[in-house]
Each structure stands twice: as C-alpha cells, then as structure tokens.
Amino acid sequence: MRMSVIGCGYLGATHAACMADLGHEVIGIDVDPAKIEKLNSGEVPFYEPGLDEVLQRALASGRLRFTTSWDEVAQFADAHFLCVGTPQRAGSYAADMQYVDAAIAELAPRLTRPSLVIGKSTVPAGTAARLAEYLEQHAPVRELARLAWNPEFLREGFAVEDTVTPDRLVYGVADEESAAILAKIYEPVTVHGMPVIITTRPTAELVKVAANSFLATKISFINAMAEICEVAGGDVSVLADAIGHDTRIGRRFLNAGVGFGGGCLPKDIRAFQERVGELGVSHAVDFLNDIDAINLRRRQRVVDLALASVGGSFAEKTVAVLGAAFKPDSDDVRDSPALDIAASISNAGATVRVYDPKAMDNAALRFPKLDYSPTVADAVSGADVLLHLTEWREFRELDPASLTPLVRNPHIIDGRLCLDPARWRAAGWTYEALGRPTV
Ligand code: UDX
C-alpha cells in the first residue's frame, strides 16, 4: 500500500522505516528540513537501537523517502499516518494540539481521492471526532476522507520491536472500510498472531491514556512504598520482588527509584486529567495528581540526600551525575528525572558534572550550565558525592574500586536501585539508595 507518515520524530521515523521494511510504499513528511535531509541520507536523527539498519534497508529498497512537500504526500499516498507530537502546553496541563491541527489543515484540502487518515499521536478523547468533522468539511472528497485512530504503544529503546511485533493492535474506526484498510496495512504484522482490537474511535483514544496512566500508577505505587521503606527500615527492591511474584501484580514496571520521565508518561497523565476535567468527571482521575506528586517527590529526595551527604551546603562542592537520559538506551532528555535533579543541585550552588553514554548533546542543549564530562572517570574526579540516575548498562558494570581513588569522598546515591550495594561498600563507598536501608 502507498502511505504517508506525518511527523518524523521517535514515533514517525520508526513507523515509516518499519512500514517500508514490511513491504509498503512510504513517504515521510516533517516540517524540519534538516531532519528530512538526515533521514533521506540514512541517518536516524536520534538514538534508537536497531533503527539505523531498518532505515537504511528501507531506503535501499526504494520503498521509502522523506519530503517536506504536502503536495507530494497527498499525490502519493492513500493512507496517512498522523505521528506528530502532542507535548504539554506551556502553563497548562493540557496537550498542545497545534501540530496535529496544523497537519490536518495542510492535508485536508489536498485530499482529492478516497483516503484514510490514521491518527497515532496521543490525543485528548474527542479529538478523532473533531478531526473527522474537519476532514469532511475541508477535503474535496468530503466523507470519503475517512479517519481512524490507531494508538501507538512503542517504548523508546524498543521502538522497532514494538512496531513490528506489538503486544496488540487497536483500530478505532467509524466504518468497516477503515477497519479493512487497517487490516491490510498491518497484515505483515498480524501474521504473527497478535491480538487485534477493533473498537470505536473514543475507546481507541482512551486505551492509550489509560495504559500510560496505569503504568505511571504502577511506578508511583512502588515509589510510595519506597518512601515508607525509608522510614520503616524496609527494602523496596525485596518488597517489589515479593509482591511481583503474585501474577495478578507482576514484577514488570515495579522498579523503584527516581521515577518516570520522558516525552509520554508525565505529559499524558496531565493531559488526561485536563481532558477528564473538561468532560466534567475530574474526580475519576484525582488520584493521578498523587501519582504525579509521588513521582516528583522522588527527585527532591535525591537532592535532599545529596545535600545531607555533603554536610548541608552545596557551596564549593562537586556532584557527579551518572545519566542524563530519562531512561537507558535512549538519548531523550524530555522531562528526565536525572537532568532535573542535576539542574536543581546546580541551581543550589554545586558544581555538577554529568556523564551519559548517548544523551550529552541533547542535555547540553537543554541545560548548558551543567558541566559535561566525556567519561565516567572524568565526571567523578574530585566529586564529593556520586549520583546514579539512569540505569545504563555501562554504569551497572562499573568497577567501584577503580573509582574510589578518583573522588574526594566515596559516597554514592543509587537512584535506580540496580547497583550491587555489597560491591560498592567493599570498595570503600558509603552506598545509599532510595527505599533501601543505608546500612
Ligand atoms: C512509555 C510507554 O511505556 C509506551 O507504551 C508509550 O507508548 C510511551 O510511553 P517510554 O516513554 O519510551 O514509553 O518509556 P518507558 O519504558 O515506559 O519508561 C517511562 C519512564 O518510567 C522512564 O523514565 C523509566 O525510567 C521509568 N520507569 C519505568 C521506572 O521508573 N520504573 C519502572 O519500573 C519502569
């Protein structure tokens, strides 16, 4: 099939490359010419394991190209995947819909033959109905410009895997033709036998925000338990293992630490609260306020522990931070707990030295005031305290004994609870972690 992918960020670039790799004819469009140039030359403009190969293979097949021209997109494709961002609106909890609306405004007047627009972006409930009406009013083909909602659940770091072999596919449709087109598009994926849920457009919109709210709740639940462990002398990691053996609970997404960040979970639970409020039932998701608050409290807890470890003042102190990305195997620093903590400590007067295997450039763009070190050894040199805030494999495999002679004070705060306390203590370090006994 001939399809377009509108918006070539983490979601769109991956979707375009994977769809072409699966055999479709794909054109990707983005407003950023530099991004389009990179993609056309086979370069992924962000770090995503495995995506380079898929992109290069798809380009070489001749089935994939990228453009900035809406005319080209409308002439070429019969199906249009909407993959633009819906970030948090400045000064509000609501989703900023300007990129979605701008894309539809460009596309609609160019739809001169029967087309299916397929929304993948995470949007407030009711968006699909609004966009469908807009298409019907502004597309020359009128009601033959159809609209479906097909939410995306991809995780950064596993984007290719999640696109090619997703846990499930959800088709939110208003007519059978749209469901049939989606079935045809995803045939190379569904041959593997994953569940397909065909439902209404509002349900499909809600599935996505419900899933992200549930995941955020699971993380904040275990982080709330970590707060309690800290005062009751418990170990939240052991607690998570123990409750996780109950298959009704499950161990996945129960890793306590500095909490969730990234371009999705934080802004999605806020936009959900905003939209649910507009729908008049805000009490239904009042609990998400607490989920957000627990999450942000964990960041402050690391700042407080670091401050206590250096004797109550950051003046003249050096703090080493391992990790800038919001999670490992990503260079994404949007709402990253690690960077947020680093910036707070820097603002409080410390010299903060940050090292991350992949996210340094993005971090420096966002927080140019922090010192960025080319290696772990450089970051920890002369440090009064070391913070482990993103669980990259490189950090888990560090030999603490090799770092002891480099620091001013061997004190580590493990914000991801995945270092081995015994090893660090044996190498002369004071090891502290969120939700774990200090000794
Ligand atoms: C998330 C959803 O998982 C995905 O389905 C959706 O499409 C987009 O949002 P992503 O943002 O890539 O994906 O990251 P995810 O792996 O979900 O992690 C989110 C955050 O939660 C990270 O900051 C991670 O460090 C944190 N996290 C995750 C925890 O703190 N503990 C855990 O147990 C799991």
For residue 191, what are its two tokens? 């041959």
Q: Mean per-residue pLDDT for 31-45?
A: 98
For the stretch 100-136, pLDDT in tens is: 999 999 999 999 999 999 999 999 999 999 999 999 9
Q: What pLDDT is stored for residue 439 in this prediction?
A: 64
| Catalytically active residues, by annotation | 264
Helix (H, G, I), strand (E, B) or coil at 240: helix
What is d(CA 102, CA 2) in angstroms, rounded to the nearest whole number?
A: 22
Q: Mean per-residue pLDDT for 4-19?
A: 98
Residue among 46, 215, 249, 341 to mutate when testing ligand 1 (max atoms within 8 A of CB): 215
- What is the Å distance from ligand 1's center to 264 Cα? 8
Q: How many other C-beta atoms lie within 10 A of the C-beta of residue 129?
A: 16
Q: Mean per-residue pLDDT for 249-267?
A: 98
User: Binning pLDDT at 50, 70 and 90, where does residue 192 land?
Assistant: confident
User: Binning pLDDT at 50, 70 and 90, where does residue 437 land?
Assistant: confident
Q: Is 408 in the pocket of ligand 1 (CB under 6 A)?
A: no
Using alpha carbons, list the distances in angstroms from residue 35 to 44, 89, 284, 304.
8, 23, 40, 40
Q: Which residues of 43-63 are buried (b: 16+ CB within 10 A; e: fewer)?
A: ebbbbbeebeebbbebbeeeb
Comparing CA positions, the residue from 237, 277, 195 lying closest to residue 435 is 237
What is d(CA 427, CA 399) in angstroms, rounded to the nearest whole number?
A: 9
Q: 200 φ, ψ to 5°?
A: -80, 165
Comparing CA positions, the residue from 160, 214, 155, 153 lying closest to residue 16 is 160
What is d(CA 35, CA 53) in angstroms, rounded to the nearest whole number?
A: 17
Atom 30 (ligand 1) nearest CA:
259
The structural architecture, per CATH, of the domain 203-439 is 3-Layer(aba) Sandwich (3.40)
Pairing label, strands 318-322, 64-67: unpaired
Atom 9 (ligand 1) nearest CA:
264
Q: Mean per-residue pLDDT for 18-44?
A: 98
Q: Is 225 in the pocket of ligand 1 (CB under 6 A)?
A: no
Q: What pLDDT is stored for residue 338 in this prediction?
A: 98
- What is the Å distance from ligand 1's center to 155 Cα? 7
Q: What pLDDT is stored for residue 211 in this prediction?
A: 98
Q: Is 392 in the pocket of ligand 1 (CB under 6 A)?
A: no
For the stretch 332-387, pLDDT in tens is: 999 999 999 999 999 999 999 999 999 999 999 999 999 999 999 999 999 999 99
Please state the atom number of ligand 1 nearest to the C-alpha of residue 153: 7
Task: Give strand pairing partners of 198.
Answer: 171
What is d(CA 43, CA 14) in angstroms, rounded to the nearest whole number?
A: 12
Comparing CA positions, the residue from 42, 40, 63, 38 lying closest to residue 52 is 42
Q: Where are the beta strands (DSSP E) in 221-308?
A: none
- What is the Å distance from ligand 1's center to 260 Cα? 6
> pTM value?
0.97
Helix (H, G, I), strand (E, B) or coil at 229: helix
Q: What is the mean pLDDT of the chain?
A: 97
Q: Mean per-residue pLDDT for 54-71?
A: 98
For the stretch 145-163, pLDDT in tens is: 999 999 999 999 999 999 9
For residue 342, what are its two tokens? 């680093």
Q: How many other C-beta atoms lie within 10 A of the C-beta of residue 404?
A: 14
Please state the atom number of ligand 1 nearest to the C-alpha of residue 223: 30
Please state the atom number of ligand 1 nearest to the C-alpha of residue 253: 33
Question: Which regions of the chain carry the CATH code 3.40.50.720?
Answer: 2-199, 203-439
Residue among 86, 155, 225, 268 to mutate when testing ligand 1 (max atoms within 8 A of CB): 155
User: Binning pLDDT at 50, 70 and 90, where does residue 288 land?
Assistant: very high
Task: Give the whole-number percent of the chain exceeding pLDDT 90.
Answer: 99
Length of the chain equals 439
Q: Is 298 in the pocket of ligand 1 (CB under 6 A)?
A: no
Atom 31 (ligand 1) nearest CA:
255
Q: What pLDDT is stored for residue 438 in this prediction?
A: 76
Q: Is 260 in the pocket of ligand 1 (CB under 6 A)?
A: yes
Q: Mean per-residue pLDDT for 17-35?
A: 98
Is the domain covering 2-199 a CATH 3.30.70.20 domain? no
Q: Mean per-residue pLDDT for 301-318?
A: 98
Q: What pLDDT is stored for residue 74 in this prediction?
A: 98
User: Binning pLDDT at 50, 70 and 90, where does residue 435 land?
Assistant: very high
